[in-house]
Every structure is written in C-alpha cells, then in structure tokens.
Chain A
Amino acid sequence: MSKYTPVIGLEIHVELKTKSKMFCQCDADFFDKEPNTNTCPVCLGMPGALPVPNRTAVEWAIKIGQALGCAINKQSKFDRKHYFYPDLPKAYQISQYDEPLAEHGTFEIQNPKTETSKKIGITRVHLEEDTGKLTHTGKDTLVDFNRSSVPLVEIVTEPDFDNAEDVKIFLEELHTIIRYLDVSDANMEEGSMRMEPNISLSIISNKEERMKNLPNYKVEVKNINSFNFAKKAIDFELIRQTKLLDKGETPPQETRGYDDKKGITFSQRSKEEAQDYRYFPEPDIPPMVFVDHEIEDLRKTLPELPHQKVARYIKDYDLKYADAFILTRRMKTAQFFDSIISDKTLQNIDILVKSKNIQNAVANAIINKRIPTSISQEEFLKEFIALHKPIEVDSEKLTQVIDGVIAQYANQVEQYKGGKVGLIGFFIGQVMKEMKGQADPQEVHKILLAKLQ
C-alpha cells in the first residue's frame, strides 16, 4: 500500500439542452451548424447588446442542484468573470461567483462490485455561458461563435475522492441523473459533458485530518470527455506524482491536458500565478430571488432518481443490487419495468415463476433481453405470461421425440459417450425445438442423461 492517499476533486461542465441560449434567443442546439450562423448581437458581444437570462436554464440548474442534495440559495446572482481569449467575445464570461444557485450538497455513490457506499460533498452548482469555439488550421485560427452563450452548468465537488474508480462511478451516476432530469444530452463526444479532475497526494491517511490539511499543490487535468479517460488520467497522475514525491519534490501546481492516444497527461500551463478574473456582479442582470414555494415546486418536478429507484427495488421487490442497478441505467427501462410490475393483469394471473417473486421474474426477462422492452406494455405482458405458463407436457410425445433425436444424431451420441459431455446442450436444444418449447428443459435434461448412459 502506498504511503500517499489521493485527494481528488471534480469540476464538471454540462451543456443544457434548452431551446434557446443562456442570454439570447439563438438556438441552443449549435451542433453541426455552418460556423457563425447561429448568432445574434448578444452572443457576439456586439456594442450595446445586453444579456437576458433564460428562465428554463435557471430552473434546470436548480433541479440539478436538488438532485445532488444541494441547498438552493434564495438569493443568487450572475457575475462577470474577465479574461481575454478570442473565443470570448465580451472579454468576460457571465458566470456565478459567490452566490451560486445551489451549494453544500452531499451525494452518495455505491460501488456496484463491493456494494459499499461513500458520501461525496458537492461544493456548488452554478450556471454560466459557454464560449465560442476555436479551430486552429495551422496557419490561422478560426472562431465560431455558434456555441457562444449556450447554457452551461458547472458542478464542483469537494476533494472527497481517494481513488479513480470512485470518480468513474460518480461520473457515471451523475451522467445517468442528468439524463433522468432530461436537461442535457450529456453527449461526451459532442462535448456536452466535460470534466476536469484536480488531483494531488497527501501523506495523511486519516480522512478528517487530510481534509483539514490539504496538500500544498493541485494538478488540474482539463477537458476530459470520457469516464474511462478520466480514470486513466487520474491513475497516470497518481503514479507521476508519487514518483516526484518519492524524490522529495513537490509536483508543480499546474493545468495539464490528457493525451488519450498515449494515455498520458502533459503540462499545459503553470498555475503558480493565479489568474485574476476581476469578478464583479453582472450589472446587466438583476439579482435573482426565489421564494420557498418556487424552490419546492421545482423539487416536485424531479423524477424518482436512479439511486432512489435502486433502493426501492431492493426494499420492495427484493431485487439483487446488480439487477436493480442495470434496470435503472436508463429511465425508460426503469419506467417500463415499473409499469409492467404495477399492471393489474400481472397481479391477477396464475403463472409459474422460478424467481423469488414476479418482480424478479420481470426484471430477469428485461435484463436478459428475453422479451424486448421496445414493444408495448400489452405485448410484453402477453409474452411474459406465455413464457411462464405452466407447461403441459405430453410425456408420450416427449419420449418419442427424445428417442428420435438420439437416433437422428448417432454420431454426436458416439462423441458424447466418448467424453464430449458438452453436447448435452445440443441434444436439449434439438428436443426443445421439436417440442416447440412445450417441455421443461430441466426435465428433458434429466431424461437425456438417463437415456445416454
């Protein structure tokens, strides 16, 4: 075991899929559009243009905060964050500084392998605008402002992670939640969800002590767009930093990039001198004030979230954690499951299930794709019932069929007797095919074993 404990925090940016942009009426969906066609005076930062905040974006950011267990600030405001960059047309980004929409959350993650859980602190959830996009052609740099001012939610965690696996679990869970909330495509390839882990190593093993005395440096890895890359980048950093610390050096405070082809991180810029963003309250947008019932009304619109569904499936239906987990990865699947098991026909019908209960049987049918979930609820139920109908076996016919199969596949019987016992499955298959499914495979198995001895 290493003498160092990793200290990892995350910054995640999620692009919202609102109809219009954060501060103007341009289409928020910029993907694949002719450069600079999805723009207006506001998102181009033209002289005299003013931002007007998108109410839906504000509400969605609050919902993300609520889903992550944050407190919603009754007073919140936008601030200007200044820096010069060609993709930033106003020379400031409208963001939130000291009064974010949501803060102080806790979110529990569960490791599906070990089935143990951990609490991750959510520092804040705030709303800002995306920048334009630069394309470097080698000779020139081209600016496309189609993405300028698309709403962006930033989620910041406490440095509560001590391994890359937990980071991956958290990110995947967050991704699932964002999709449940239906507020973003959270499409990694298109960059609508991007993450930046900050990583350092501490010599303090006691968590409480470690959090009180954080390491005196921090390495930030920028713009990762895959959970696997996040894990790999962190693992790479942990080894790199360990080597430096072992040599008695402190890893420099810096921003690094991740090269997914080589699987390494590389230095981008030193953070020794903290950039001064000269934050101040955005004078063009009045502060936002929310009353209790507005916040509660938004909370009521939250769907049952994946971790809540998992807990309910285990508690109410005695599902295995792994099954409940798989069922809840997509809200559509979970909703389908919910609607099937609450169907009255299913409760009133006399069918034989081998699972612990009917809910487990339905879960099984869905997870093992025995019945597709793309069909209607009625069709699914029909197939499910057919699948579990008590089989009336014509034992005379069964004996005939089994004998027939043995006779027909004499070669295979020879091979079986010669030691290729795996062929039993083949025989069962042939029998079941002849019987058109009207037999119990276990029963067939038993008879075959006896006859082939």
Chain B
Amino acid sequence: MDLFGKTITELQALIKDKKVSSSEIWKYFAQRSKKINHDINAFVTLLDNPSNANVGELSGIPLAVKDNYCTKGVRTTASSKVLDDFIPPYESTVTSKLKLAGYELLGKTNMDAWAHGASTETSDYGLTKNPWDLGRYPGGSSGGSAAAVAAYMAPGAIGSDTGGSIRHPSAWCGIVGLKPTYGRVSRYGVIAMGSSFDCPGPMTQSVEDNAMLLQIMAGKDQYDATSSSDAVPDYRSEMKKKRKLKIGIAREYLKGVESDIQTAFENMVEVIKKMGHEVVDVSLMSPEYSISVYTITQRAEVSSNLGRYDGIRYANNRAYFGQEAKRRIMLGTYTLSHGYYDAFYKKAQKVRTLIKDNFKKTFEDVDLIIGPNTPVTALKVGEFEKYPFFGELMDQLNEPASAAGIPAMSIPIGLDSRNLPIGMQIMGNYFDESSIFNLAYQIEQETNFFDVIKKGKEKYK
C-alpha cells in the first residue's frame, strides 16, 4: 500500500482496518527519513528499530521528536555539543504519554542549539534545510520537526515553543503547528530554555492530527508544578462543532509585514468572513513591548538554566557553548545582576502583566485573534547575518502570545511569489485551544490550506 502523504489519523484508520501493519509503517518512515535526511538534515538521531511494547491509540505511529525532550536511553543533545553524549536516564512526561499511547520514536529532530534561534543555524549538528527550497532556512527553533513533517519524513512531530519555536518553522515549512497555553502540557523532561514560556506542542499535516496529539499530551502533571489542573476538553469534538466565531484583527500586527504575506492574510480574512464568521478590529499593545519583555525575561531564565552545564557531569565543557548561547548567558546574567534587576527583570515582569491583561480584556470581546505569523517568508541561508536579534525580529508576531502564555497556532494560508509558504497565526484565550482548533478546522475544510501542505510533501514523493 502506498502510504505517501497519509495523515496520522488516516494511518490509524488503516492500522485499525488491518490494511497495513505497524512494521510496514515503521519500515516506510525509517527508510524515507534516512534517505531524505541526507538532503534536509532534519534529524540529529534516527532510530534503527521500533521499541515500544505499549498498545494504544498511537500504536504503530512513528513520530519525530525535537531533540530537547529527554528520551530514556536515547541520546538527547538539544543540538549542542555540550550534551553530545547525554543519554537521559528518564523520560519526559510528553514522550511518556505518547509512549503509553503506543507511539514509536522515529528520531530526534534538529533544532537551534538549546532552542536559541529561529533558523536551526545555531545547531552544532548542522543546519536543517527548508524542504521547499534547500537554500533556505526552515525556521526555528523546531526546524527539524517542521521540515520532517513538511517533507513527509514523519507523519507528525513534537516541537517546543518558547517565543515562536513551533509556529515560526511551521509557517516557513507550511504545516500546522500549535503552541498550547502555558501550563496545558507538562514541561517535565524538556530541556529548559525560557522556563516561564516553554510550551511543548504538536506539529502536524492536519488540524485533526494536531488536536488528537494535544489530547494525548495535555493535562496536569505531578512532576510539573506549573502544569494546569484545568480539565482537558475533547478537542476533536470541540473542533467539529459548527460554530460562528467572533474574530479580532489587530492592525498593530500588520506593520512591517511583507506585502505577499499581507495580501495572503487579507485574502484569508475575506474567506473567513464569507464562511460567516464575524471579523472586527481590535487594538492590542504593540508587539514591541512583548519583544522587550520576552528578550529580557527569557535571557535571564536562559542564563540561569544553562548554569548546570558545568562540564563536570555532561559530555563537554563550557567552551562548547556556541556564540548565541554565550550571548544569551551574558545578557541574562547582566540583567539579573545587582543594581540592574529592578530596571530590567522586574520592569519586564510588570509589563508582562500588562500584556496578559491586555489579552484577557480583548478576549472578553472576541473568541480569537488572527494575524500574520512571520514578517517574511523563509529567508535564504546566510541572511541570518543581516539581522542582529534575528530570532526576535522573526518572532515579533509570535512573542506576544508567548509573553502572555495564551495558545496560538500557525496554519498555512498560501504561497508567496517565490513559492514559499505563508503562515497565519490564530491566537486564543487561556486554555481555549478548542476555539483555535474549531476555526483552523473550518478553514482546512473550506480551503484545504490552499494545498500548501500537499504541495510541500509532493516535492518528496
């Protein structure tokens, strides 16, 4: 049977109907990913054999997992040579849940080292290439996961989003990527980047796959004190409800965005209106504030979180930290230093509260907020150099949701004049992933995301 392009949901149905066996699926993806990885370098580590004895909803489904998830017995590097030989003695909560559900770990995907970046260029294991154009960045930091899904090396992937690290590469590679509400999914066992922002999330070919994976990943975890005990709704039934939604557009988020993206976005808005949803203008705080808040707070947390890699217990010493990590450690150390704390960290916390309040207030009036996801489509390798604070620039539209901790998804809404995917961001209220799934699913039903996902995969048929 030709498995090419099947979504996770479709594969599950085929397994259920005994039309294909788990081992056939494993063989298919193991061979594919091994072959295509030569060109794309989406994986840092590929597994030779399936190893999960659990039986469940995901039995026989191989998934790609970002290399910052601790996987027991499988090397986990966060794409940094500092952790070159780190084999975790324990399993992250997310991958434990996936394991319990029967999934197979296909491989560990490349990322910006320590998740610092929006290109995968800071990886110590080489750049991941964008499947749409091998001369371009896949975006990041979950670039390996995004590329693996876009080139159909895996039917789905797990990423993590601190300031856009799921949404940004999802937009640039043309797939569906969700950053859930902070606290919706346990961070236990995910190598910490910005602890108050980090959100594990699914990256998929379809909205239904995404909802299905979140269903498995979400929930209170006794090992993560910041995980929420709010009940997890049944996302797939929430997704399929026929809802007419009230959707806000913040003009503040359209400034400085490439014209192709603007056009695709405006076109999408028209489609949404035609579908019968109400679209209104809302006013949000300028994303600039979020960039400042995000940069200061995240660097502070990074400088603290990376202190443990002292060269005593893990593979390599601190000299192996790359430039970006060193820059972040220095900036974070500086902002936390005596005499600077009040001016930077403390002030950032106050503004962060304002950002949260701003979103809360806005969501009293609308169900969702939409906007472009990135100011530009995938850049050419090397263009990184032209932008100091590259990640912050690329993620300026993503960081407000990160600073606030609200859920946000990137969906493909078309291709630009260079034939590169364009993403749109759907932001929802706290713990209201359901409404995001609902709108995204309706758009998918209506437009099939303008065949972007299909076209991406077909380059690798």
Q: Quote the shortest CB–CB distance from B358 to chain A (angstroms).
A: 21
User: How many whole Å from B183's CB to the nearest CB in chain A?
Assistant: 9
Q: Contact mask B313-356 → A, CB, 8 Å, 1/0?
A: 11000000000000000000100111001000100010000000
Residues A47 and B307 in contact, CB atoms below 8 Å apart: no
**B195 contacts A283, CB within 8 Å?**
yes
Residues of B within 8 A of A276 (CB): 337-338
Given contacts A89-B308, A92-B307, contact A50 B188 (CB under 8 A): yes
Contacts of B226 in A (CB 8 A): 50, 283-286
Contact A92 B223 (CB under 8 A): no
Q: Number of contacting residues on B, CB 8 A? A: 41
Measured as residues with beta carbon below 8 angstroms from the partner, the interface class of chain A is 20 to 34
Do the beta carbons of B187 and A47 come within 8 Å of each other?
Answer: no
Chain B: CB-nearest residue to A80:
B304
Name which residue of chain A comes closest to B339, CB basis. A276
B300 CB-CB contact with A under 8 Å = yes
Q: Flag the segment in B82-90, B98-106, B168-176, B206-214 that touches A.
A: B82-90
- B383: min CB distance to chain A, Å: 31
Provided the pairs A278-B336, A280-B336, A283-B196 are in contact, do residues A49 and B304 lie with their beta carbons within 8 angstroms? no
Q: Is A257 on the interface with B (CB-CB < 8 A)?
A: no
Hey, which chain B residues are within 8 Å of A280, CB to CB?
Answer: 300, 304, 336, 341, 345
Q: Is the CB of A50 within 8 A of B196?
A: no
Tell me if B189 and A49 are in contact (CB < 8 A). Answer: yes
Among A47, A89, A278, contact of B76 (Cβ-Cβ < 8 Å) = A47
Please tell me if A252 contacts chain B, counting CB pairs below 8 Å.
Answer: no
B85 CB, nearest partner CB in chain A, Å:
13
A82 at the interface (CB under 8 A from B): yes
The binding surface of chain A is classed by DSSP as: loop
Please indicate the chain B residues that have their CB under 8 angstroms from the CB of A52 in the complex.
222-225
Question: Does chain B have a CB within 8 A of A86?
Answer: yes
Contact of B337 among A80, A89, A278 (CB under 8 A): A278
Q: How far is the CB of A230 from chain B (nearest CB, A)?
A: 31
Residues on B with beta carbons closer than 8 Å to the beta carbon of A90? 307-308
Chain B proximity of A35: nearest CB distance (Å)? 15
Q: Is the Cβ of B307 less than 8 Å from the Cβ of A48?
A: no
Interface string of A396-434 (1 = CB under 8 A from B): 000000000000000000000000000000000000000
* 27 CB-based A-B contacts, threshold 8 Å: A41-B88, A46-B90, A47-B76, A47-B86, A47-B314, A48-B88, A48-B187, A48-B189, A48-B192, A49-B90, A52-B223, A80-B304, A84-B310, A89-B313, A90-B307, A91-B304, A92-B304, A92-B307, A278-B338, A280-B300, A281-B349, A283-B196, A283-B301, A284-B192, A284-B195, A284-B224, A286-B225
Given contacts A41-B88, A82-B307, 7 further A-B contacts (CB under 8 A): A47-B88, A47-B308, A47-B314, A48-B190, A84-B307, A89-B308, A281-B349
Give the 6 A-B residue pairs with the shortest CB-CB distance, closest first: A91-B307, A283-B195, A278-B336, A283-B196, A48-B189, A47-B191
